[in-house]
Structure 1
Amino acid sequence: MYQANIQAAAINGFHTMAFSERVQRLCATGVERVSVTRPASSEEALAALAVARIHLGGLVSDDVAAAAIAHNPDIFHLVGERGERADRPAFLAYLPLNRRGAWALVNQQFSGMRPDLTMVCRADERPHAIYIWLIFAPGTLTPTLRALAPLLGRVAPEGCPLFTRGVTGHTSRLFPAMGFVEARAAYPNAAADLLGLSPRSGFPVFENDAVARAAGAITVRVARTMEDMLKCFTIRSATYMAEQDCPFDEEFDGNDFCATHFLGEIDGEPAGCIRVRYFADFVKFERLAVRHEFRNSRLSFRLVREAIDHCRRKGYLKAYGHSRSDLVRFWGIFGFRAIAGRPHFTFSEVEYVELEASLAATQDRLVIGVDPYMLIRPEGDWDRPGPLDRSSSRPASIGPRRRNHGPSIERKAQDLTSSSLASV
């Protein structure tokens, strides 16, 4: 029973992450032989570290490892059956980071040698990011990689960014082959040697406590009113028509009233927007625009992230878009990749690349069978009661509501008949 659960988790664990095709194939072919992992006791973990120190330098001290395991007994896993290869044990050690820890890691304020355990999740907490502390797999790399899948499936079933460092020549080649990229591509303040692997939905935005408290400065919402739409149109006019000389009928292409628009504001000032259109089994992201005076902010990231989360909630698993050739790297942060075999194409005198991304499924997606009130609430505001929820407190009736607009037709007819008889 335990082995069956591990196999299911292994598939889920890898399918939510942007691992390279090579790793996906490697682990998919071995699903029937998923490696068994189990949390190590403090004594077992320290014994395994002692063996690893024979082969590797610069590992954490015993007191640091013991304190971390006492904080979260699930962070140190032995790979293989109990007692197997005790002389050269294979193991995975990772640090599940909370929101504060994730922000600290990508801003060079988290130390793997002496981790601040207030930034590390306990066993019952869902992490915002996972830092791979150490993988020690002498001669057993493939089984150890397969063992990583069930851990991801259990610890972060909807996907979670992974971070690590290539501290040896072998790992500096291995991790990029697995799909890891320089963390600085998504987080400009990250250390030069920090590597990151995103969920399929892309790298999230991490905020520290001070930024989170001031997050009201940046707001993103679905455009629902004509005023909101005019703000989006104004932003796009300033960006595409004024800066890029785009003709009016090319920018405003007739698709604006069959799409969802997201409006971003900074301190209440309209600053950015993005448009999403829906097709049978995919969504298309387009018209991302941020006014030039706000391009040093994180608004563009917030707009794309909010749009992705919105589409995941609606049940979409695939996204599509067109990117300028020089902006492909930006979209790669969110899991978009160029579609293989498709040529570049041009419109409005700009060269574009077709991109696609897999969106991780979410457990709270909107499907037939959810609370019917959710499906009649304002778009994107599905978790709060709306006007029709509040109307349910009034008595129900069958057929149209009757309003008191004076006597009914039947009553008028009766009055007319009575007055006619009286006059006779």
Structure 2
Amino acid sequence: MENQAASGAARAARLIEVRNAVTSEAIEALLPKAEKIMGPLAKAETIKRLTKTNPDTIWLAARRGALAPEGFVTVLLLNEDGYEALLDDEMDLADPDDRYLVRQSETPAAIYSWASYTPGILANAIPLVVDHFSSPRYASADMIANVTTERGRRAMLRLGFDEGLEWRGTFKPNLFIKRRATKSRLFPRRRYDQAVDSAADTGITVVHGIDQLFRVAAVRSAVYIGEQSCPYDEEFDGNDFAATHLLYSVKGEPAGCMRIRFFGDFAKMERLAVRKEFRRSTIAFELVRASVELCRDKGFRKLYGHAREDYLPFWQRFGFKVKHNGAPFGFSGHTFVEMVDESDPPDTAISIDDGPYKLIRPEGQWSYPGILDRSGRNPWL
């Protein structure tokens, strides 16, 4: 997604230029032109005040060689309180309160597309501004926009935004979001749902596609077949397409994995593997914690697994105990014991009463709208 924005910015840079060295004269000249098309906007005094607080609030756009600015892109750089007020519809967008905004030296929680006047070719200013907000200072801030036209919708989708946002039980179809925050009290990510879309990402995700499954297979082949001489048919035992897989990536490189299978009243955790070069890290611990969290979020109270006898102390760190009357047993040249862990799932665990859209979202991504939410509630259809 970021690469798409960057390529769009490169094309735009050949046609137009943007800058945030804004003058009062430029604001006063452009605002009436924008209001003729868009209706009432914030007053010039408000824009000047916000620009003084943070110059990145407004960007002027012009065709290359033009003698004066011809358009603008404005954003609100929100702290977490501002982000929450925006989503709760409690912010006065015509005159945003300074307490909701960050100064130029601070990192925002969200970058809200406030208003843009970019007629004709000046629409190419938008990817240039998006590219600026991919810089280190802003890269961890969610980007959000309120879109009410089909033209704007297509533009947001091209820039990698997701259509529709669910907030406190209400679906907001006109809000488009590019989720980039790794830590947020408003949209906290689960241990098993980290961003691993680019070569720079490190974290855990539930496997959703064949490419990610190949990465899991690569890790397990290196560990179990390469190091432990496990026969291929024993390692790839016919259960991989009946399971949920977690993948741990380190800067885009597959480093570890876990497999989970679900039965009537328990979940079975298995095939934990970490490549040799990553074993001095905490990856194994993080994968187990993420797997336990996923199972609890799915409503499972009882977890079950097989521990190699010499690895039992590792599993006991997480509350697992040897299953009652569980005698040691062997396969693939090793001795194992059965183990179990029981605890109540959280109140937020998936329930049949959560409604149809939540229950058809991708595995592990139940807290925000998926493609079928957008299909079923799409205001553009």
Per-residue deviation, residues 74-124 of structure 1 (Å, max 9, x unmatched):
3111123798264x7121111100121112222322232231221011122
Pick from 286, 290, 295 the counterpart of residue 274 of structure 1.
290
Matched, 1:94 2:75: yes
* Native 8 Å contact 2:102 2:108 kept in 1: yes
Among 109, 113, 116, the alignment partner of 1:128 is 109
RMSD: 4.4
In the alignment, does 2:156 pair up with 1:171?
A: no
Q: Provide the C-alpha distance between the structure 1 equivalents of 2:26 and 2:94, rounded to a whole number of angstroms.
A: 20
Which of 98, 101, 123 does residue 117 from structure 1 map onto? 98
CA separation of 1:157 and 1:114: change in aligned 2, threshold 3 A: closer
Corresponding position: 1:44 with 2:26: yes
Q: Count residues in correspondence.
A: 241
Q: Please give the TM-score of this superposition, normalised by the length of structure 2.
A: 0.50
Q: Relative to 1, partners in 2 of residues 1:187 and 1:247: Cα closer, same or farther, differing over 3 Å?
A: closer
**2:324 paired residue number:** none
What does 1:25-174 align with in structure 2 at a 5 Å threshold?
Answer: 25-29=7-11, 35-80=17-62, 84=66, 86=68, 89-141=70-122, 143-154=124-135, 156-174=137-155
In structure 1, the residue matched to 2:285 is 260
> In the TM superposition, what whole-angstrom CA distance separates every residue of 1:388-419 from its partner, at most 9, and x where no partner exists?
xxxxxxxxxxxxxxxxxxxxxxxxxxxxxxxx
Q: How many angstroms apart in 2 are the aligned matches of 1:330 and 1:46?
A: 49
Q: Following TM superposition, by how much is the alpha carbon of 1:48 offset from its aligned partner in structure 2, in angstroms?
A: 1.4
The yes-or-no answer on 1:206 pairing with 2:157 is no
Query: Please, which of 274, 283, 290 is the counterpart of residue 297 of structure 2?
Result: 290
Superposition pairs of residues 185-224 of structure 1, within 5 angstroms = 185=166, 188-189=169-170, 191-199=172-180, 204-206=184-186
Q: Which runs of 5+ in 2 are unaligned?
A: 188-259, 275-282, 300-343, 351-357, 372-381
Per-residue CA distance 1:329-367 (angstroms, 9 max, x = gap) = 753979999xxxxxxxxxxxxxxxxxxxxxxxxxxxxxx
- Partner secondary structure for residue 113 of structure 2: strand
Find the aligned partners of 1:80 and 1:110 in 2 and give their Cα distance: 31
CA spacing shift, 1:57–1:75, aligned 2, 3 Å: same
Residue 198 of structure 2 is matched in structure 1 by none
Give the Cα separation in 2 of the matches to 1:329 and 1:252.
Answer: 16
Q: Mind listing any 5+ residue stretches in structure 1 that lack a counterpart?
A: 1-17, 208-239, 264-272, 277-285, 300-323, 338-424
Please say if residues 20 and 177 of structure 1, whose CA atoms lie closer than 8 Å, have aligned partners that are also in contact. no
CA contact (8 A) 2:85 2:91 kept: yes
With a CA cutoff of 8 Å and minimum separation of 6, indicate the structure with the bigger relative contact order.
1
> Kindly, what percent of the aligned residue pairs are identical?
18
For normalisation by structure 1, the TM-score amounts to 0.46
Q: Residues 161, 332 of structure 1: CA spacing in aligned structure 2 closer, same or farther, 3 A cutoff?
A: farther
**37 and 104 in structure 1: CA distance in 2 versus 1, 3 angstrom threshold:** same
Greater strand percent: which structure?
Answer: 2
**What one-letter code is carried by the residue in structure 1 that aligns with 2:186?**
F
